[in-house]
Chains A and B, each alone.
Chain A
């Protein structure tokens, strides 16, 4: 079946630092890709998505580009804030509309 591999955390950054969280996937066909974020004590929220190759999803300063040639969907943000501290999940929607989640990456931003 399909799988999603995320960089292990926790990732600890200072405020205004540049963020990259790597995500690669294995899938047959052309899956849709998502980044979801989970703040402490809350459910997951969609951060951004891309549904085809070369699409760039963006939201709240975060960006990720669907790279089919490298089967990657890395999350980036130019300047993180303390409020970005959360767990980030890379998600692949495989054939049959089943979601496959990465393990999650904890991000801690220090002021």
Chain B
């Protein structure tokens, strides 16, 4: 079966712009979670969506937001981009959520902010 698909794989933005990243989970998976990976801070949890509702949230400012659609696909949006937002953004899906199941990760979207 198809894995977790993230688009775009690479993108470059400038400070002040906004960006939207997409994550298509494995078919049948209802939970999508997002993570930021940077050399300085490592991997950090952003948020988790389950059945179109945000279920968990990490310690990130309100510029980071997300949503999930009825087909379980999820988008993450970052507004007013800062240089420090340059990172690899990973999403992961699971049937019932972080606590219940093993996560399957996508390959990530690499964002560079200039």
Known: A93-B99, A97-B98, A98-B58. A44 touches B90 (CB 8 A): yes
Tell me the complex Cα distance, A47–B58, Å: 24
Answer yes or no: A50 CB below 8 A from chain B CBs: no
Is A43 a contact partner of B45 (Cβ separation < 8 A)?
no
Q: Which residues of B contact A45 (CB under 8 A)?
A: 105
Q: Which residues of A contact B44 (CB under 8 A)?
A: 101
Is B103 a contact partner of A103 (Cβ separation < 8 A)?
no
Q: Which residues of B contact A49 (CB under 8 A)?
A: 102
Tell me the complex Cα distance, A96–B99, Å: 8
Tell me the complex Cα distance, A44–B45, Å: 14
Is B43 a contact partner of A104 (Cβ separation < 8 A)?
yes
Tell me the complex Cα distance, A46–B108, Å: 16
Contact of A99 among B4, B98, B104, B106 (CB under 8 A): B98
Contact of B4 among A43, A98, A100 (CB under 8 A): A43
Number of interface residues of A (CB under 8 A): 19
Contact of A97 among B4, B43, B99 (CB under 8 A): B99
Is A102 a contact partner of B90 (Cβ separation < 8 A)?
no
Chain A residue nearest to B9 (CB atoms) is: A41
Q: Mark A62-93, 1 if CB is under 8 A from B, else 0.
A: 00000000000000000000000000010001
Tell me the complex Cα distance, A93–B103, Å: 12
Contact of A43 among B56, B102, B106 (CB under 8 A): B106
Q: Is the interface of B mostly helix, strand, loop or mixed?
A: strand
Q: Which residues of A contact B99 (CB under 8 A)?
A: 93, 97
Is B42 a contact partner of A98 (Cβ separation < 8 A)?
no
CB distance from A69 to the nearest CB of B (A): 25
Q: Which residues of A contact B97 (CB under 8 A)?
A: 97
Q: Mark A23-52, 1 if CB is under 8 A from B, else 0.
A: 000000000000010000111111001000
Quick one: which of B61-114 are within 8 Å of A by CB? 90, 92, 97-99, 102-108
Q: Which residues of B contact A93 (CB under 8 A)?
A: 98-99
7 new A-B contacts at CB < 8 Å, known A36-B105, A97-B99: A41-B107, A43-B106, A96-B56, A98-B56, A99-B35, A102-B42, A104-B42
